[in-house]
């Protein structure tokens, strides 16, 4: 799935990273617990979360995650946006809650992925 399809499925707004909408996303993970995200490495993954603090960007950085979706209409502040930009990440927002956002993507064929290192 491409980032632009994610945008369409989730009625998302792009906060930063417009230039990467043709990038591929092979799997996704949804969580508000960053250590749970860190427990499961997947390639070309995307993170959906209701948290909007700098630790989300850090977690994504450690995991090589380049696409982040903030759910439930949560808006990141400028410092979070800036951090994401510096790391060439895409940040999207959606009004859907976490469960629904994940469900819609799963239904569209985006899997939870297989763990890799």
Partner 1 sequence: MSDIVKTLHYDVDPKDFDSVGEASGKTKNVLRQLGFPPEVLRRVAIAMYEGEINMVIHANGGTADVEISPKQIKITLKDNGPGIPDIEKAMQKGYSTASEEARSLGFGAGMGLFNMDTYADELNITTKIGVGTTVEMIIRT
The residues that touch partner 1, with contacts defined as CB under 8 A, are: 32-36, 38-39, 41, 49, 51, 53-56, 58-59, 61-64, 79, 117
Residue 44 Cβ vs partner 1, minimum distance, rounded to whole Å: 12
Question: 4 or 87, CB closer to partner 1?
Answer: 87
The torsion angles phi and psi of 61, rounded to 5 degrees, stand at -60, -45
Question: Least separation, in Å, of the C-beta of 109 and partner 1?
Answer: 25
Q: Closer CB to partner 1, residue 4 or residue 81?
A: 81
Query: Least distance to partner 1 from the beta carbon of 66, Å?
Result: 13
Q: Which is nearer to partner 1, 108 or 115 (CB)?
A: 115
Residue number, 19 or 64, with CB nearest to partner 1: 64
Whole-angstrom Cα distance, residue 114 to residue 51? 24
Q: Give min distance, CB of 58 to partner 1, in A.
A: 4
């Amino acid at each position: 799935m491409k980032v632009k399809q994610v945008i369409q499925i989730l009625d998302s707004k792009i906060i930063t990273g417009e230039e990467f909408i043709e990038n591929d996303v092979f799997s996704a993970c949804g969580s508000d617990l960053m250590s749970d995200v860190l427990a499961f490495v997947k390639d070309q993954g995307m993170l959906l979360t209701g948290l909007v603090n700098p630790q989300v960007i850090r977690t994504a950085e450690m995991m090589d995650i380049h696409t982040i979706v903030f759910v439930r209409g949560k808006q990141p502040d400028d410092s979070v946006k800036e951090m994401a930009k510096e790391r060439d990440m895409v940040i999207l927002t959606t009004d859907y809650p976490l469960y629904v956002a994940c469900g819609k993507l799963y239904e569209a064929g985006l899997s939870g992925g297989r763990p890799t290192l």
